[in-house]
Chains A and B, each alone.
Chain A
Amino acid sequence: MNILVLLGRSAREKSSRLLYGLGFLQNVIKETLRFFRKSQVGYKVLIMQILFTGYEALTINAIMAVSIGAAINVIGTSLLPQFGQSQLMYTILIIVITRELGPLLTAFVITARSGTAIATQLGTMVVSHEIEAYLSVGLNPISYLVVPRFIGVVVSMLVLTVYFNLFGLLGSFIVVQVFNPTPISEYLGNLLSQLAVGDVLWGLLKAFVFGVVVSVVSTYQGFSVNKASTEIPVAGIRAVGQSFILIIVADVIITLMQYA
């Protein structure tokens, strides 16, 4: 009986939190559209967000992309000929880099770097009443704080995914030269004939959705801090955990859509 009551209460709280989260998302989207209509004071915040989330993550992103691309190249050129399917190497490279790991790993990097940063930063601002201060001067925290981060993270996700593709598909070629020299024209020709623009677009769709997930979850968790500074790291942890879960769920859904 008691457990039933507890379950019911937890379900009610969870659903009301979900509704609140959806309302938050809706608000963010509304404010984002407004942001594009008239440029605001948030422009500077947006630039700094892209600088931090996108540009500064480029190095780690590139390293991951080149390593994974090189690994697939090495495995592909040594394993696949045993089945007489050497051509599959390019298909695998494209599927893994462009459609799956590119957006996914980029999203994980951004969650780890910027998701935590955004959640703790906003949490700190709540605790030190900076959010209220924005309200008091007439700046909507959603449009001034959330929207630039939202756009910044989404744009960074998209741009970083493009770079991931480039580094993963082309950068790995350079690494492969060390182990197994291949003429660049052959490599490029095979790659380009296998690469469908649809692959790239699906990858970018994933990047977009992951960007939305990371930014909305992180800002939401940042704002969920109430008063105490001890809540801030908790918010950061929750932002990362929820982002990871939602990213994987979204990834599965999009991949299913792709093959449906």
Chain B
Amino acid sequence: MKFKIKYADQIVGLFIVVAIVLFAVIVVLVGLNQRWFAKDYSFKTSFPSASGVAPGTSIMMKGFVVGKIDRITLNSENSVDTLFHIYDTFYDKVREYSILELTVSPIGLGSQLLFHPGRGERLLEEGEFIPTADSAAGKAIIEQELVEIPPKDDTITRLLANVNPLLENLNKTVVTVNRTLTEVNRALAGQSTGPLGNIVNDASAAAAQLPRTVNRVDDIVADVQTRTAGLLDQISSLLAAVQGMTGDIGSITSNLAATTEAIRDPTGLVSKLFDPKGSIKTFLDDDNVLYKRVMSIISEIEASVRSLQGIVTGLNGEMPKIAAVLNETRTAIQQAQDVLEGVKNNPLIRGGVPERATQETLYGSMREGSFE
């Protein structure tokens, strides 16, 4: 006690100084760890939407954090001006033709902002503009292969990226067909002033595009099949574990089969309209050229859908993630069915698409077991 009183000043001084020093050391360590003292290089870019690019979002390259988003502002042209920085240790990657790419996980696991280094020689100056992959400039760079884009490690993202535009094309074509049919319908009702031949020509021109689209579908589907085959090989062991899901898979498969059946049904749909013995025979006496064309298109669609069905069945057994993909696919098929439903509603057409059976998501049923 005497000692404490005698050296009170020294003890108290030490007590406080040690705390301050340790505090300072911690702050410096935190600062070093969080790169307060490192130089960052700022660049600009522009996104169509701010979703997934909040300030502080990490910019990744091959799994490394190479920088962060600093600030985003909505400009007068309704695109999002974005300021971001790249850490000094990665600055030598920021060469001409570098691009940014925002990838959104299809199954709700958030988004990733990727940096792809350009193949140019020149290092970009601070403050320069780096395009995003989905901008015109970005697409041009990618097409000219001026940028290193590693193969996506996420097969599902890749697969979906291919499937989505495919379905879009399919949709567009069917809508065109539908529109043409409406025109034909109007002509039959005597509402159209133009010569019917023109209209039918339009229709056939539109329909002529369909095989091309479907050819692309074939390519993509083949691609997807090879990819999925590889994937399936890797995880064939998982298949056994998900045998229990076969009930669900069966239901989906039958659903798909029904849809396919409806498309094939010779008594339904377009066949009635274009049959040589049909009501518009007199107007369309062209040796069933249009009819055959449309029929071939439909059979091609059918084949595509069957391919998809095969893929979907394989994917379904793979893992819960694939189930989500299946959902996406199912949505697409439902959209196609909607189109067909639209065709069916045309008064000129009898028969139609069978009623759709709703399908429980595998995802949900999986969870119920473990979270009860």
Which residues of chain A have a CB within 8 Å of any CB of chain B? 47-48, 50-51, 54-55, 58, 155, 158-159, 162-163, 165-166, 188-189, 192-193, 195-197, 200
Residue B240, interface by CB 8 Å: no
17 example contacts (A-B, Cβ-Cβ < 8 A) are as follows A48-B5, A50-B15, A51-B4, A54-B16, A55-B11, A55-B12, A55-B15, A58-B15, A158-B19, A159-B15, A162-B19, A163-B22, A165-B26, A166-B26, A192-B33, A200-B26, A200-B27
Q: How far is the CA of A43 from the CA of B264 in the complex (A)?
A: 98
Bound form: Cα–Cα A166–B27 in Å: 12
Q: Please, which residues of chain A bring their CB within 8 A of the CB of B29?
A: 188, 192
> A166-B22, A189-B33 in contact; A197/B15 too (CB < 8 A)?
no
Given contact pairs A162-B22, A200-B23, a sample of 11 additional A-B residue pairs in the complex whose CB atoms are under 8 Å apart: A47-B12, A51-B15, A158-B19, A159-B15, A159-B19, A165-B26, A192-B29, A192-B30, A192-B34, A193-B34, A195-B30
Residues of A within 8 Å of B23, CB to CB, are: 162, 200
B22 to chain A, nearest CB (A): 6
State which of B8, B20, B22, B27 has its C-beta within 8 Å of the C-beta of A47: B8
Mark contacts of B1-35 with chain A using CB atoms, 8 A cut-off: 1 yes-contact digit, 0 otherwise: 00011001101100110011011001101110110
Q: Are B8 and A51 in contact (CB under 8 A)?
A: yes
B interface bracket (residues with beta carbon within 8 Å of A): 10 to 19
Q: Are A163 and B4 in contact (CB under 8 A)?
A: no
Are A48 and B16 in contact, with the CB atoms below 8 A? no
Given contacts A47-B8, A51-B4, A200-B26, contact A193 B33 (CB under 8 A): yes
**Neighbouring B residues of A158 by C-beta, 8 Å:** 19
A155 and B34 form a contact (CB under 8 A):
no
A-B contacts at CB below 8 angstroms, number? 51
Name the contact of B12 in the complex, choosing from A50, A162, A166, A189 (C-beta under 8 A).
A50
A158 and B34 alpha carbons, distance in the complex (Å): 24
Q: A48 and B8: CB pair below 8 A?
A: yes
Across-interface contacts of B12 in A (CB, < 8 A): 47, 50-51, 54-55
Contact with A along B29-47 (1 / 0, CB 8 A): 1110110000000000000
How far does the alpha carbon of A195 sit from the alpha carbon of B4 in the complex, in Å?
36
Tell me if A47 and B9 are in contact (CB < 8 A).
Answer: yes
Shortest beta-carbon distance, A158 to chain B, in Å? 8
The 4 A-B pairs with the shortest beta carbon distances in the complex, nearest first, are A192-B33, A159-B19, A162-B19, A50-B12
Q: Please name the residue on chain B nearest to A159 by beta carbon.
A: B19
Tell me the bound Cα distance from A253 to B19 in angstroms: 27
Give the residues in chain B near A189, CB-CB below 8 Å: 33
Give the docked Cα–Cα distance between A78 and B20 (Å).
34
Q: Pick the residue among A54, A165, A193, A196 that contacts B15 (CB under 8 A).
A: A54
Q: With A192-B33, A193-B34 known to touch, is A163 a contact of B26 (CB < 8 Å)?
A: no
A163 and B16 in contact (CB under 8 A), knowing A195-B30, A197-B30?
A: no
- Specify which chain B residues have a CB less than 8 angstroms from the CB of A159 in the assembled complex: 15-16, 19
> What residue in chain A is nearest B32 (Cβ atoms)?
A192
Enumerate chain A residues within 8 angstroms of B19, measured Cβ to Cβ. Answer: 158-159, 162-163
> Would you give the shortest CB distance from A166 to chain B, in whole angstroms?
6
Cβ–Cβ < 8 Å partners of B33 in chain A: 189, 192-193
A197 vs B15: C-alpha distance when bound (angstroms): 22
Min CB–CB distance A54 → chain B (angstroms): 6
Chain B residues in 8 Å Cβ range of A162: 19-20, 22-23
B26 to chain A: which residues have CB within 8 Å? 165-166, 195, 200
